[in-house]
Amino acid sequence: MEGKVALVTGAAGGIGEAVVRLLGERGVTVAAVDKDPDRLRSTVDKLNADGLRVEAFPGDVTSSPDVEALVDDVERRLGPLDYLVNAAGVLRLNEARKLSDEDWAFTFAVNTTGVFFVSRAVVNRMVPRGSGSVVTVASNSAGTARVEMAAYSASKAAATMFTKCLGLEVAKYGIRCNLVAPGSTETPMLSSMWKDGEKARKASIEGVNSSYRVGIPLQKLGRPENVAQAVVFLLSDAASHITMHDLTVDGGATLGV
C-alpha cells in the first residue's frame, strides 16, 4: 500500500481516525475529511507528529457541490485517489414512531446520501484509471432490528445495498466495493447511547433481554482498531478477489447471521 492515496471521511475520531492511522502506518498518504475543522486539525496534527502523511480537508458529506470540490482539491494536492473509506456517521436514538422529521432526514443525509455523494465523486474519477477500492463502514444493525435505532439501522441498510450495487456496476473497471459492519465499538458514538456508564457498558456485553439484545459472545467491546484492520484488509491487494462483501466485526453479537 506504500505510496497510495486514500480519502477517509469521519476522520476526526473513532473508527475513522483509527483507519487513517493504520493507512498512514502502511505508507498511504491520507486525505482526512471531517465536518468538525477544529477536531480534525487536532487529530491530523497528532498523526503528523507521529510521522504519518495525513492532510486535513474539512468538508460536509451532505453537500454534493462541496463533495465534488473537495475531491477535486484532494486529487490536485495529493494525487489520484486509490482508496475511499466512508466512515462518517451519525446516530439519533428514539422509537421509530417518535422520531422527528429532522432526526430521520439528518441521519439519512450523513449515513446514506453522504456515502452516495462521496462514492460517486471518487468512483467517477477512478473509472478512467481502471482501478480503485472502496470500503463503506456500515453496521451490524443494518441486518438486525434494534430498539430505538430505526433511523440509524435503516440508513446503514440503505448504504449497504448502495455500496453492493455500486460494486456490481464498477467491477468491470477493476474497482472493488466492500463493507465492514461493526457492532458495539468503543467510540464516542457508542458512549453517547449510555445513560449510566459502566452499567450500560456491561449490559452491551452481557445483553439486554428487554431490548432483544443477545450480548457479545467474545465478552468484550470492539476497539476502533479492530474495525480499521478489517477496512484496511478489504482495501488492500490481499483482498484483490473480494468485492460486494459485507464483513461483520461484532464479536459474534449477531450470531454470524
Q: Tell me, what's the pLDDT at 197?
A: 62
Q: What is the mean pLDDT of residues 160-176?
A: 98
Task: Return the bridge partners of 31, or none.
Answer: 7, 55
pLDDT digits (tens, 9 = 90+) for 42-82: 999 999 999 999 999 999 999 999 999 999 999 999 999 99
Q: Is the pLDDT of residue 112 over 70?
A: yes
- Pull the grid cell for residue 62: 451532505
If you average pLDDT over every residue of the chain, what do you get? 96
CA atoms within 13 A of residue 171's CA, in its CB half-sphere: 13
Amino acid letter at 236? S
**Given this model, what pLDDT does residue 70 score?**
98
For the chain, how many residues are written? 257
Contact by Cβ (8 Å): 20, 232: no
Catalytic residue from among 83, 152, 173, 212:
152
Measure the CA–CA gap between 228 and 132, rounded to whole angstroms: 18
**What are the tens digits of pLDDT across the range 176-196?**
999 999 999 998 887 777 666
Phi, psi (5° rounding) for residue 105?
-65, -40
Domain ranges of the chain: 5-195+222-249
User: Is 152 noted as a catalytic residue in this protein?
Assistant: yes
What are the C-alpha distances in Å from 30 to residues 39, 43, 55, 165, 185? 16, 13, 6, 26, 23
Strand locations in the chain (E)? 5-9, 29-34, 54-58, 83-86, 132-137, 175-182, 246-249
Q: What pLDDT score does 203 carry?
A: 84
pLDDT > 70? residue 117: yes
CA angle 61, 45, 236 (to 5 degrees): 60
What percentage of residues in the chain have a pLDDT greater than 90?
A: 91
Mean pLDDT of 220-230: 97
Closest CA to 225 of 185, 194, 252, 178: 185
pLDDT at 256 (0 to 100): 94
**Residue 83 predicted with pLDDT over 80:** yes
Among 96-105, 116-125, 196-205, 234-243, which stretch is predicted with the lowest mean pLDDT? Answer: 196-205
* 5-195+222-249: CATH class: alpha beta
